[in-house]
Amino acid sequence: MKRNLFLFISATVALMLMAACGAAQPQPATESEPAPATEEAAPAAPAEPAEESAETTETEAEPAEEAAESAETMRGSGDTLNILYWQAASTLNPYLSGGTKDIEAASVILEPLARYDENGNMVPWLVEEIPTVENGGVAEDLTSITWKIKEGILWSDGTPFTAEDVKFSAEYCLNEEMGCNAVSYLTDVESVEVIDDLTAKINFGVPKPFPYGPFVGAEIPVLQKAQFEDCMGAKAQECTEQNFAPIGTGAYKVTDFKANDVVVYEINENYRDPDKPYFSQVIFKGGGDAAAAARSVLETGEMDYAWNLQIEPQILDSMAAAGKGKVVTAYGTSVERLMVNFTNPDPALGDLRSVWSEADPNPHPFLTDPVVRQALSMAIDREAIATQLYGAGGKPTCNVLPAPEVYASTANDGCLVQDIEGANALLDEAGIVDSDGDGIREKDGVPLQILYQTSTNSVRQSTQALVKQWWEQIGVGSELRNVDAGVFFGGDPSSPDTFQKFFADIEMYTNNFSGTDPESYMANWLCSEIPTPDNQWIGNNMPRWCNADYDALVAQMAETAGLEDRAELAKQMNDMLMQNFVMIPLVHRGDVSAHSVTLEGVRMNTWDSELWNIADWTRTEQ
């Protein structure tokens, strides 16, 4: 039975409960030796130790002596590690892109102060410990958090990593002219103080029951001040050299980067562990598609790791039978969804297409009608999509926040049953009918004809085909469009084809968040998060939906300590998004990747970057 009650421990549960009564906060997990990888990584329930997965890799079955022997490695003694992310990286600055492929490519170089392990536990990374009220790291009034940096950490150029870099990174992202993709992680941050070279104090304008947004997780690493200090504000996008080759503290550094193609890394000789990393070189290749990526690991063995294998389950199983690789899956918070454009994307509008402003919301001619949006949702058979196209890697959902279970709403479960008849009746009753007999309904004389875009991927194109067929049955036409994933999820503000620009009526993709607390994630749909030309099209509110009541719930959650109260607020936000049909969730996706049978140390992680522990990866002969 799939474990669906996710680990909501130290960093969240205990902190919320204890902070609510002014008591001590959690005893977080400390950095430890890597645990053995599992075929399916899924966190256990709160207050219980993590259970072992029923499926284990061969490395777990090794005798202790063999495992110890295989773990003995020397820095650089391995060959080249070949990684294939079929959505190619377009930048290595995660502050300028919301694309997972960019964030993960950058995570090989750039690191946060703390991150989440494969079980959702927060672990110290560049710091001595996770700050809490009990250890004095979090103020009793919850208005500040103080991080103690480990001694001796160096940037790859040999200069010291200091609290000045932490302060700078916050100021870099908070600059209003920049349009920082990670700004939601800095909600309510008023300032960062440098107490000394190894101590950074983050001050909040309000009590923060969960103060672990800033610099925790792959989305918000620390940048080197010396490298980026001339790239503030509007200049951020212009700093190509810095954005393509950031100096980091990770196990590797960049030697070559070709946007939307390949990244080549070599060992960071100043990395803090003298025995790591094992591989002498890493090649992070982009391009192709999910099927080709899976084949390159599972059948031909030419690649060592392939990410995001969103392909039909029957094909994946057939490839895995070749025996050259292993498929690994982890369930977290990923949801494949349809985003509804509340603005008008008509090309005739020129520079104003899909542009929202408070003075002129630029409303869509028919998708601003909730009846139309509801009918589009009712017509979809989510069970068919999940079963036919995802298999064990997906299950139907009616929520954009499907996990952890404490936050999962049941108020929207009616969407699990397709209702073509009901959708037609709803549109008829609203007077949205086909007046000219061409099979397409009109609203106020405008045909319900939708441009439906997504990235190029066989599962997504199959999903588009199914949805198009169902929408035709309710009198809604659709034109299907797919864009190369490297471009679609890229951060190029000059490209018309990015998901941020949203020059379509409906777009489809998956998103999720690091860790187990959804505060920053739910803040993605604030009015201030709407991408516009003024913020370089960087923002997470793709639908361009602005609601003052929703903004108030986000602010309230930021000030709420009790776990039950926070869960209730998260559900209210989820339900507001769902019941206004701001987006139409389809499938709660498991993250599916594959690695070579010779690759050891992989700990599949859905709560952070999948490459979070790449310094621990080694190779064994099979």
Domain map of the chain by residue range?
13-69+79-328+601-619, 331-351+364-590
Q: Kindly state the average pLDDT of the residues 325-340.
A: 94
Residue 348 reports pLDDT greater than 60 = yes
Give the pLDDT band of residue 30 (cuts 50, 70, 90). very low
Q: Which helix (H) or strand (E) holds 79?
A: strand 78-85
Q: Is the pLDDT of residue 55 over 80?
A: no
Write the single-letter amino acid at 571: K
The pair of structure tokens assigned to 40 is: 């399916």
d(CA 598, CA 276) in angstroms, rounded, equals 18
**Arithmetic mean of pLDDT, 3-26:** 36
How high is the pLDDT of residue 516? 84
Tell me what the mean pLDDT of segment 576-584 comes to: 98
The model carries a pTM of 0.71
Which has the minimum average pLDDT: 23-27, 312-316, 377-381? 23-27
Report DSSP letters for 113-166, one per residue.
SEEE-TTS-EEESSBSS---TTTTSB-TTSSEEEEEBPTT-B-TTSPBP-HHHH
CA dihedral over 44, 48, 49, 51, signed as positive or negative: negative
pLDDT at 622: 63
Q: In the chain, pLDDT over 90 holds for what percent of residues? A: 78
Which residues are paired to 305 by β-bridges?
83, 595
Average pLDDT of 299-310? 96
**What is the C-alpha separation between 404 and 277, in angstroms, rounded?**
33
Bridge partners for 115 per DSSP: 123
Q: What is the pLDDT of residues 355-383, one digit of tens each?
A: 999 999 999 999 999 999 999 999 999 99
Percentage of the chain beyond pLDDT 70 is: 88
* Averaged pLDDT for residues 28-54: 30
Mean pLDDT (the chain, rounded): 88
- Longest Cα separation, the chain: 77
| 58 has a pLDDT exceeding 90 | no
Q: How confident is the model at residue 35 (pLDDT cuts 50, 70, 90)?
A: very low
Amino acid at 8: F
Residues 203, 221: Cα–Cα separation, whole Å? 18
Q: What is the DSSP string of 189-201?
A: EEEEEEEETTEEE
Same fold, 13-69+79-328+601-619 and 331-351+364-590: no
Amino acid 485: pLDDT? 87
CATH superfamily membership of 13-69+79-328+601-619: Periplasmic binding protein-like II (3.40.190.10)
Give the span between the Cα atoms of 171 and 166, in whole angstroms: 9
Nearest to 480 by CA among 458, 457, 454: 454
The residue among 309, 294, 285 whose CA lies nearest residue 510 is: 309
User: Residue 493: pLDDT above 50?
Assistant: yes
Structure tokens at 350: 């020129």
pLDDT 10s digits, 185-212? 999 999 999 999 999 999 999 999 999 9
DSSP 56: B
Tens digits of per-residue pLDDT, 503-520?
999 999 999 887 788 999
95 has a pLDDT exceeding 60: yes
Q: What pLDDT shows up at residue 432?
A: 98
Residues 194, 508: Cα–Cα separation, whole Å:
42
Q: Which of 110-114, 217-221, 465-469, 618-622 bottoms out in mean pLDDT, i.e. has the lowest?
A: 618-622
Q: What is the pLDDT of residue 406?
A: 87
Q: Which span out of 262-271, 488-497, 562-571 was modeled with the highest average pLDDT?
A: 262-271
DSSP code of residue 390: I
What value does the CA radius of gyration of the chain take, rounded to a whole number of Å? 24
- At 37 the pLDDT is 29
Q: Name the CATH superfamily for 331-351+364-590.
A: Dipeptide-binding Protein; Domain 3 (3.10.105.10)
Looking at residue 98, its pLDDT comes to: 83
Residue 220 in this model has a pLDDT that exceeds 60: yes
Q: Tokens representing 83? A: 């990684």
For residue 405, what pLDDT is reported? 86
Structure confidence by residue, pLDDT tens digits, 432-447: 999 999 999 999 999 9
Residue 65, pLDDT > 60, answer: no
Output the pLDDT for position 393.
87
- For residue range 126-183, list pLDDT tens digits in order: 999 999 999 999 999 999 999 999 999 999 999 999 999 999 999 999 999 988 999 9
- Please report the DSSP string for 275-335 in residue order: T---EEEEEEEE-S-HHHHHHHHHTS---SEE----S-HHHHHHHHTTSSEEEEEEEEEEE
Least confident of 83-92, 524-533, 536-545, 560-569: 560-569
Q: What's residue 155's pLDDT?
A: 98
| Per-residue confidence band for 563, with pLDDT thresholds at 50, 70 and 90 | confident
The pLDDT, as a whole number, for residue 179 is: 87
For residues 37 and 404, the model is more confident at 404
Burial of 351 (0-12, 13-18, 19+ CB in 10 A): exposed
d(CA 440, CA 157): 61
Backbone φ, ψ for residue 442 (5° rounding): -125, 150
